[in-house]
Amino acid sequence: MAFFAELIITVVKMVFLMAVAVLGVKAGHALRVRKEKK
């Protein structure tokens, strides 16, 4: 059971990191576009 819990935690961490990375890239791209428009 402990192994199963660790596996779930690991998967959640990976998904969370991926989501943060995607949001970071989108935010960076949006900032770049805004700067270019100005």
pLDDT in tens, 3-30: 999 999 999 999 999 999 999 999 999 9
Query: What is the reported pTM?
Result: 0.62
Number of structural domains (the chain) is: 1
- Work out the angle at residue 2's Cα, subtended by the Cα atoms of residues 17 and 21, and round it to the nearest 5 degrees: 0
If you ran DSSP here, which 8-state letter would residue 38 be given? -
Range of the domain at 9: 1-38
pLDDT at 38 over 80: no
Give me 20's structure tokens. Answer: 């943060």
- State the Cα–Cα distance between residues 14 and 7, nearest whole angstrom: 11
